[in-house]
Amino acid sequence: MSALPSPILFETPFTEIAQRIRGFAEAQPTRIALDDGESQLTYEQLDRWMDQTACALQREGVQPGQAIAICAETSVRYAATFLGALRAGVVVAPLAPSANAETLAAMLSDAEAKVLFIDPSTAPRFAESADRGHKVNLSDEPLSDTTRIRDWLASDGGKPQVAEVGPDSPFNIIYSSGTTGTPKGIVQSHGMRWAHVRRGSRYGYGPQTVTLLATPLYSNTTLVVFFPTIASGGTLLLMRKFDTIKYLEWAQTRRVTHTMLVPVQVQRLLAEPHFDEFDLSHFEAKFCTSAPFHADLKKATLERWPGGLIEFYGMTEGGASFILNAHERPDKLHTVGQVAPGCEVRLIDEDGKALPMDALGEVVGRSAGMMLGYHRQPEKTREAEWFDETGQRFIRTGDIGQLDAEGFLTLMDRRKDMIISGGFNIYPSDIEAQMRLHPSVSDVAVVGAASSQWGETPVAFVVLNDHGPDPEAVRLWYNEKAGKTQRLSAIVRLDELPRSAIGKVLKRELRDWYAQHGTPL
């Protein structure tokens, strides 16, 4: 048996993730690498699957730097095929199964995918895409106009041609969630993914790691934990669909050490009546990102769930990155942490001019973890970039924030979500924070609605407890406490707020709904 690959340290030079997996296949062949509850692959089996995938792609003429697409439910085969494409130097475009057929067709065309991997849950949305390249069925169920993965894979035992891959080589194309309109293809490099792996060395990843993932594989949220685990020789438990009891059962019986969740999942877990009955003492690190993680929820998590709690703030595009080790700084739960090692940030005003670091402004950042650009959209790429006086490239976050004396960042709002009413800037997060103090408000989102008098005016969408008061009473309660410019003009009660698959509130949908159905203001 070979020696285990050396542990990854923050200073470890660039290494291909596929090469790391080969080393673990030799050193710990029988350790479980991937497990979705229905099937498993050991490291030896995963390595063979990766070789078979890479050989099959090369057989079909897919060149390094060209793309394949995957649109399917989370599974061991999905993950193994993704990794196998990387071994061939092929770029992976994971597509959201929740997208409609028109959006999926647009993303598939934009990626110029040479092969499309699907399953029975997504096949109907690609019925009209016969001209989009070879379609491979990841399941064993029969599907028309596809090849079953077992029949498509190359023969076992073959070795693919070595693909020349460097830090600047494209790794994957992550399509934006659509919360801001048509999804853009964010091209991430091998160097960017390796930066995430190196960062993971600070959180105890190793062959003993057992990571439980309950967010989808097309999301960058998932991948920032997926790759550090697999590149460190750990075990990945993949949930097809998030369920609180199933999550807690897996966490206890499999002695999970690491996990990535979005705030709404944390909220649902803590609200589960049986939460405190489960043994979660083996957790080392719980990561959370992708949506506002409110201080009271962080506090409750620290009180009830053993192990470290780490919040990541950043973008799929990369650049600015902040980390809050909440278990070490419970006095900073209202922030998203301090700038991550190896990252440089600035604050800029609406005109793109640099501001003092204690000012309120848009956060921009640069690091080893920055996208190469938006795929085939150079104009959009330029819009996302900011350059300092020396010509250094930064990525704009679109988020407004302020740094305190210790460098902890407090976020106000997305720049596009800021409400300008009567010439005053109003931050919806300020209103939302106050409204959450009402005992009957369980969730809230505030957006700007068109106003003939003020230009824009705040409107709240609320989820109230079962026996909550009339929404108008909540509006009046809030307005009695608010400054004149921050008063709510209207309130709408919903059973739940619209959210993306990774828990982001879809404020664009709320604005569109109010413009169509709300009372003119």
pLDDT at 413: 86
pLDDT at 299: 98
Long-range contacts of 153-159 (CB under 8 A, 24+ apart): 153/49, 153/52, 153/53, 153/56, 154/51, 154/52, 154/53, 154/55, 154/56, 154/59, 155/52, 155/55, 156/48, 156/52, 158/51, 158/52, 158/55, 159/51, 159/55
CA distances from 417 to 103, 158, 420, 427, 455 (A): 24, 53, 10, 8, 14
DSSP per residue, 448-500: EEEETTTEEEEEEEEEE-TT---HHHHHHHHHHHS-GGG--SEEEE-SS--B-
The helix (run of H) or strand (run of E) holding residue 77 is helix 76-87
Beta-strand (E) ranges in 404-452?
409-414, 419-421, 424-426, 441-451
- Give percent helix, percent strand, percent coil of the chain, each to the nearest 5: 30, 25, 40
CA distances from 163 to 49, 63, 170, 310 (A): 17, 9, 12, 36
Residue 409: count other Cβ atoms within 10 Å of its Cβ.
Answer: 22
Residue 439: count other Cβ atoms within 10 Å of its Cβ.
Answer: 9
Q: What are the pLDDT tens digits along the chain (521 aa)?
A: 678 999 998 888 999 999 999 999 999 999 999 999 999 999 999 999 999 999 999 999 999 999 999 999 999 999 999 999 999 999 999 999 988 888 899 999 999 999 999 999 999 989 876 555 689 999 999 998 899 999 999 999 999 999 999 999 999 999 986 444 568 999 999 999 999 999 998 999 999 999 999 999 999 999 999 999 999 999 999 999 999 999 999 999 999 999 999 998 999 999 999 999 999 999 999 999 988 899 999 999 999 999 999 999 999 999 999 999 999 999 999 999 999 999 999 999 999 999 999 999 999 999 989 999 999 999 999 999 999 999 999 999 999 999 999 999 999 888 888 898 887 888 898 899 999 999 999 999 999 999 888 889 999 999 998 777 789 999 999 999 988 878 999 999 999 999 988 888 999 999 999 999 987 77
CB 117 within 8 A of CB 69: yes
- Mention every residue, 6+ apart, whose C-beta is less than 8 A from residue 4: 23, 24, 27, 28, 207, 233
CB 459 within 8 A of CB 514: yes
Give this prediction's pTM: 0.89
User: First CA to last CA across the chain, in angstroms?
Assistant: 73
Q: Which domains does the chain have, with CATH numbers?
A: 17-241 (3.40.50.12780), 270-413 (3.40.50.12780), 422-517 (3.30.300.30)
pLDDT at 182: 66
Report d(CA 320, CA 363) in Å as an integer: 7
The partner residues of 462 in beta bridges, in order of sequence, read 444, 493
Residue 418: count other Cβ atoms within 10 Å of its Cβ.
Answer: 16
- Looking at residue 176, the DSSP 8-state letter turns out to be P
The partner residues of 258 in beta bridges, in order of sequence, read 211, 285
Report d(CA 286, CA 363) in Å as an integer: 25
- Token readout for 397 is 């976050």
Alpha-carbon torsion (394, 398, 399, 402), positive or negative: positive
CA distances from 327 to 122, 205, 210, 258, 521 (A): 41, 18, 21, 15, 45
